[in-house]
């Protein structure tokens, strides 16, 4: 329905012209630094006001109303609310009983018996992606140092995106586009066979975005025209590095440690001034419909950050499932659990059998004066995450040597920094 995810779960709410809309994020690890300013960059990338996009430009100030205490996540559900302030509902009154071709108007009217909010497309509007982007900001912080990037590579069948937009404007029409997404630093082992393959989960999330009509991973449909000898990605080393990436970083539904790569097809916006045939839902009479108002000429222009968000949400969910990230992040206060004993900082994924468990055990034995701030702990966690990945690759091959090496590093005596008098 309106929810997605298991360990990192999101629930979308609101309508385009309602009082507010937003997202509920459940399963976010506790201790993650989070404040409204963290959202502004990605929210700004999603906004309209540019050539080829909607003239409706909301302020989109995120209101974090739960799940945050003293600037950090608490582990409770996070509610992010956005106000709708720039609506123009009058422009939609003529569309209440005249569904736009290519839009959800007819199917929504039929499914909900006409009780759906038609203003601004209601719950089916691209406006609701503001909540997805907000959840993506949180997910991106969780999966660090894994990075997700997307860009529009084609619009209206042309790589000259600006030219295609100008041409469609002159014609009073709309155009679609293709968005390319990659993720670097992804560990091998994410995804489950068959129904919960990584492709399945990403596709599920991406198809939740309005206007998405297709997705392909790696070589995609072109693989159907290739021979196996050309399509297969030769394996170069024990890390699983491949000479090509026709698989798009996924084999057997599971990430293989190479770059995740996929492309998304975005259809043209249905709301256009060009006359189109439709019907009047009250009497079934055929009509000619010309749509006015503030609509995106090319919605694909605003899609990259939304697709990044959907991808990051899936990766956060699968990385939590695989225990690649901890459920509790220490920060701001001394991390000082008793060595070898469980606590809120060593429970769950931080058991003594993992490198992160060893990290916290070593930190617990350090002098009381050693305080670990957020940045230091995040760096240590990034290092241990990489070592966990390395251990997975070399499982059964010198694992004990890796443990000894890591243990020795963390038990190196703390050195005095004579420039600022602080220990490091």
pLDDT in tens, 167-211: 998 988 999 999 999 999 999 999 999 999 999 999 999 999 999
Share of the chain above pLDDT 70, in %: 78
Whether 217 and 358 map to the same domain: the answer is no
Whether 223 and 361 map to the same domain: the answer is no
pLDDT tops 70 at residue 256: yes
Whether 51 and 72 map to the same domain: the answer is yes
| Residue 304 near residue 152, CB atoms below 8 Å | yes
- Cα angle 38, 310, 132 (rounded to 5 degrees) comes to 55
Whether 150 and 28 map to the same domain: the answer is yes
pLDDT tops 80 at residue 312: yes
Confidence of residue 351 (pLDDT cuts 50, 70, 90): very low
Q: What is the DSSP string of 253-314?
A: TEE-SS-EEEEEEEPPPS--SS-EEEE-TTT--EEEE---SS--S-GGGGHHHHHHHHHHHH
Whether 8 and 83 map to the same domain: the answer is yes
Residue 246 CB burial class (10 angstroms; 0-12, 13-18, ≥19) = middle
Q: What is the CATH number of the domain that holds 31?
A: 3.60.150.10
Whether 335 and 309 map to the same domain: the answer is no
157: region left, alpha or beta (phi > 0 left; psi from -120 to 50 alpha): left
What value does the mean pLDDT take over residues 321-344? Answer: 61
Final residue belonging to a domain, choices 294, 321, 348:
321
63-85: per-residue pLDDT in tens? 999 999 999 999 999 999 999 88
Whether 186 and 334 map to the same domain: the answer is no
Whether 212 and 133 map to the same domain: the answer is yes
Whether 309 and 332 map to the same domain: the answer is no
Using DSSP's 3-state secondary structure scheme, residue 158 falls into: strand
| Residue 20 near residue 14, CB atoms below 8 Å | yes
Final residue belonging to a domain, choices 291, 321, 351:
321
pLDDT tops 80 at residue 325: yes
Final residue belonging to a domain, choices 321, 338, 355:
321
How many Cβ atoms sit within 10 Å of the Cβ of residue 180?
16
Whether 313 and 346 map to the same domain: the answer is no
Query: Which residues, at least 6 apart from 258, have a Cβ–Cβ distance to it below 8 Å?
Result: 233, 240, 241, 242, 245, 247, 249
Task: Please count the structural domains in the chain.
Answer: 2
209-241: per-residue pLDDT in tens? 999 999 999 999 999 999 999 999 999 999 999
Residue-number span of the structural domain to which 400 is assigned: 326-424
Query: Which residues, at least 6 apart from 65, have a Cβ–Cβ distance to it below 8 Å?
Result: 79, 80, 81
Whether 39 and 140 map to the same domain: the answer is yes
Q: According to the model, what pLDDT value does residue 291 have?
A: 86
In angstroms, the CA 167 to CA 227 distance is: 39
pLDDT tops 90 at residue 368: no
pLDDT tops 80 at residue 11: yes
Whether 105 and 218 map to the same domain: the answer is yes
pTM of the model: 0.77
pLDDT tops 60 at residue 385: no
Tokens of 137: 């900001």
Higher pLDDT, 299 or 415: 299
H/E element, 21:
strand 20-26
Query: Which residues, at least 6 apart from 394, have a Cβ–Cβ distance to it below 8 Å?
Result: 238, 402
């Amino acid at each position: 329905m309106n929810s997605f995810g298991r360990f990192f779960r999101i629930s979308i709410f609101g309508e385009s012209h309602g009082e507010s809309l937003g997202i509920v994020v459940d399963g976010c690890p506790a201790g993650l630094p989070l404040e409204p300013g963290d959202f502004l960059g990605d929210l700004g990338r999603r906004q309209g006001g540019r050539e080829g996009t909607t003239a409706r430009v909301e302020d989109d100030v995120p209101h974090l109303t739960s799940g945050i205490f003293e600037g950090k996540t608490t582990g409770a559900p996070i509610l992010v609310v956005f106000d709708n302030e720039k609506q123009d509902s009058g422009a939609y009154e003529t569309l209440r009983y005249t569904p736009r071709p290519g839009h959800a108007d007819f199917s929504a009217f039929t499914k909900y018996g006409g009780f759906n909010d038609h203003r601004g497309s209601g719950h089916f509007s691209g406006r609701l992606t503001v909540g997805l982007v907000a959840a993506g900001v949180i997910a991106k912080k969780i999966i660090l140092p894994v990075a997700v990037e997307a860009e529009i590579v084609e619009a209206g069948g042309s790589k000259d995106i600006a030219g295609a937009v100008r041409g469609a404007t002159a014609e009073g029409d709309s155009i679609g586009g293709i968005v390319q997404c990659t993720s670097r630093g992804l560990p091998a082992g994410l995804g489950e066979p068959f129904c919960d393959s990584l492709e399945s989960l990403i596709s599920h999330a991406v198809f939740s975005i309005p206007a998405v009509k297709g997705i392909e991973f790696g070589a995609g449909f072109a693989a159907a025209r290739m021979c196996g000898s050309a399509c297969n990605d030769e394996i170069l080393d024990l890390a699983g590095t491949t000479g090509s990436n026709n698989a798009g970083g996924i084999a057997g539904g599971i990430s293989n440690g190479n770059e995740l790569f996929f492309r998304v097809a975005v259809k043209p916006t249905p709301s256009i001034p060009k006359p189109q045939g439709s019907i009047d839902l009250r009497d079934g009479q055929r009509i000619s419909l010309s749509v006015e108002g503030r609509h995106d000429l090319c919605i694909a222009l605003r899609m990259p950050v939304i697709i990044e968000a959907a991808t990051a949400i899936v990766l956060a969910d699968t990385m939590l499932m695989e225990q690649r990230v901890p459920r509790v992040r220490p920060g701001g206060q001394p991390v000082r659990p008793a060595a070898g004993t469980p606590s809120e900082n060593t429970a769950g994924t931080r058991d003594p059998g993992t490198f992160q468990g060893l990290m916290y055990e070593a930190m617990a034995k350090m002098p009381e004066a050693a305080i670990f701030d957020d940045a230091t702990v995040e760096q240590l966690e990034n290092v241990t995450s990489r070592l966990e990945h390395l251990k997975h690759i070399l499982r059964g091959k010198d694992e004990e040597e890796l443990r000894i090496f890591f243990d020795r590093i963390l038990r190196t005596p703390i050195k005095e920094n004579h420039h600022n008098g602080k220990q490091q």
